[in-house]
Amino acid sequence: MIVKKVQPRILPGFMELMPADQIEFNRLRDIIRGTFELFGFAPMDTPIIEKSEILLAKAGGETEKQIYRFKKGDNDLALRFDLTVPLARFVAQNYNSLAFPFKRYQIGKVFRGERAQKGRFREFYQCDIDVIGDGELSLLNDAEIPAVIYTVFKNLNLGEFIIKINNRKILNGYFAALGIADKSTDILRILDKFPKINRDTILEELLSFTDNKTAGKILEFIDIKGDNEAMLAILKNLAVNEIFNNGVQELEQVVQNVKKFKVPDENIAIDLTIARGFDYYTGTIYETFLKNYPEIGSICSGGRFDNLAEYYTDKKLPGVGASIGLTRLFYQLKKAGLIKGERKSLSKILIVPLMEDLTVPLQVAAQLRENSIAVEIYFGTDIKLKKKFSYADKMKIPYVAVIGEEEIDKGMITLKEMATGKQELIQIEELANKFK
């Protein structure tokens, strides 16, 4: 049968990794998941397809342009574009059967039909944690989120990083004092472009909303620098207005508590340029940066919101959370050479039988697997030994166990360490112990 061929390829803006990179990707994802679980966050997994009316309850903006929306039968469907909207829907829907504070994590793919460009993806993993309160939520949660972020990035071992923290009330209070409270959202969106966009461009953009003097005041304000204590002292001294002071008080409490969560001082810094683009944040806001790779931009962001699910319920559900865009992060880490992706196999040992009767080799494999050691067998006695070793080499399988008639008679196997080339004869029973 002759079949017409379709050229095998994927769509632009979609990430598909080769096994070696996928192994690394999964390693990072497992560390993130494990850390979330250590902090008592429960897993959640919402559908990828939801009703359009749910996902677009808050209409307008980029979302509507980017969302993948389609009909199937009479249903108006869409693919989730983040994990926050599904969380809001979930909590509203299951309000009566949840225990609050509700702590959940979700790691899953989300979809945005953005303009294709390097390093931007249309399908990407988000790793989210959120704590949702019923009516109210202790500010201690705002301090626990940076503790989780800190532990995640410490465990990921990607080098020095810093969690930058701010509070929306400080910014909003300051803007109110300048008489531009009504332009808050626009100004925040501009500030959010820091540090990707330079000061001059920021100034230019500010001038389309405010006069020269006000823009100057804004830049002067976000230029305030210093360690956390100094920053808090300056902010307290400014005492702009009630909402501002309220924000400063919250920020002080959060920063003090973050310390008690054992986050070292050098990993958390008050930074007034941190604004976050989304308008649902109402208090604490975070961004995280790798110190040696500022060009990567924020690798984990989040904040406090007063009312998670207002489009689905009358209940007031305040929350605080953070999100890691893992696909983009992985892409950037790979580009920066921070991730190599060399192991093409998870196998610790390649078993190479030299005889037809596989009874003993398969017994050895079963025994190793019972001891949680990942093992692969190279089938085919007609294939040259050299080819089998080169397979192990190519796949970066660290050990090859050669099993021949002669060895079996003595209850032994030959174990070769691929990195050193070192060979040893080893008792079959001893093999599992060696790798445990």
Which tokens hold the place of 150? 């800190």
Number of residues that bind a copy of itself (CB under 8 A): 99
Indicate which single residue of 31, 63, 113, 241 sits in contact with a copy of itself (rule: CB under 8 A).
113
Indicate which single residue of 31, 54, 336, 432 sits in contact with a copy of itself (rule: CB under 8 A).
54
Cα–Cα distance measured from residue 190 to residue 203, given in angstroms and rounded to the nearest whole number: 9
| x/- track of binding to a copy of itself for residues 253-272 (CB under 8 A) | ----x--xxx----------
| x/- track of binding to a copy of itself for residues 3-22 (CB under 8 A) | xxxxxxxxx--xxxxxx--x
Find the binding residues for a copy of itself in span 192-251 (CB under 8 A): none
Binding to a copy of itself by residue 109, rule CB under 8 A? yes
Binding to a copy of itself by residue 356, rule CB under 8 A? no
Binding to a copy of itself by residue 422, rule CB under 8 A? no
Binding to a copy of itself by residue 385, rule CB under 8 A? no
Give the residue among 355, 354, 433 at the shortest CA–CA distance from 400.
Answer: 354
How many C-beta neighbours within 10 Å does residue 179 have?
10
Report the SS3 class of residue 349.
strand
Q: Which residues have CB under 8 Å from 187's CB, separation 6+?
A: 171, 175, 180, 206, 209, 210, 218, 275
Indicate which single residue of 28, 81, 83, 90 sits in contact with a copy of itself (rule: CB under 8 A).
90
Identify whether the C-beta of residue 356 lies closer than 8 Å to the C-beta of residue 381: yes
Which H helix or E strand runs over 400? strand 399-403
Distance of CA 147 to the CA centre of its chain: 15
What region does 71 belong to: left with phi over 0, alpha with psi -120 to 50, or beta? beta
Q: Which stretch binds a copy of itself (CB under 8 A): 89-97, 160-168, 179-187, 288-296?
A: 89-97
| x/- track of binding to a copy of itself for residues 311-330 (CB under 8 A) | xxxx----------------
Q: How far is the CB of 212 from a copy of itself (least distance, A)?
A: 32
Identify whether the C-beta of residue 130 lies closer than 8 Å to the C-beta of residue 149: no
Indicate which single residue of 123, 128, 250, 252 sits in contact with a copy of itself (rule: CB under 8 A).
123
Report the SS3 class of residue 93.
helix
What region does 13 belong to: left with phi over 0, alpha with psi -120 to 50, or beta? left
Tell me the C-alpha to C-alpha distance, in Å, between residue 243 and each of 167, 180, 246, 278.
11, 14, 5, 19
Q: Which position has the token pair 């009330």?
A: 169
Binding to a copy of itself by residue 97, rule CB under 8 A? yes
Indicate which single residue of 376, 388, 403, 431 sits in contact with a copy of itself (rule: CB under 8 A).
376
Find the binding residues for a copy of itself in span 392-421 (CB under 8 A): 394-395
Q: Which is nearer to a copy of itself, 42 or 207 (CB)?
A: 42
Which tokens hold the place of 81? 């574009």
Cα–Cα distance measured from residue 291 to residue 159, given in angstroms and rounded to the nearest whole number: 8
Indicate which single residue of 230, 233, 239, 374 sits in contact with a copy of itself (rule: CB under 8 A).
374
Q: What single-letter amino acid sits at 289?
A: F
Indicate which single residue of 38, 230, 233, 425 sits in contact with a copy of itself (rule: CB under 8 A).
38
How many C-beta neighbours within 10 Å does residue 329 have?
26
Q: Which is nearer to a copy of itself, 7 or 420 (CB)?
A: 7
Identify whether the C-beta of residue 350 lies closer than 8 Å to the C-beta of residue 397: yes
Q: Which stretch binds a copy of itself (CB under 8 A): 168-176, 342-350, 408-416, 424-432?
A: 342-350
Q: Which stretch binds a copy of itself (CB under 8 A): 2-10, 208-216, 243-251, 405-413?
A: 2-10
Q: Which is nearer to a copy of itself, 383 or 425 (CB)?
A: 383
Q: Which is nearer to a copy of itself, 390 or 433 (CB)?
A: 390
Indicate which single residue of 183, 280, 310, 435 sits in contact with a copy of itself (rule: CB under 8 A).
310
Report the SS3 class of residue 277.
coil
| x/- track of binding to a copy of itself for residues 129-168 (CB under 8 A) | ---------x-xx--x--x---x-----------------
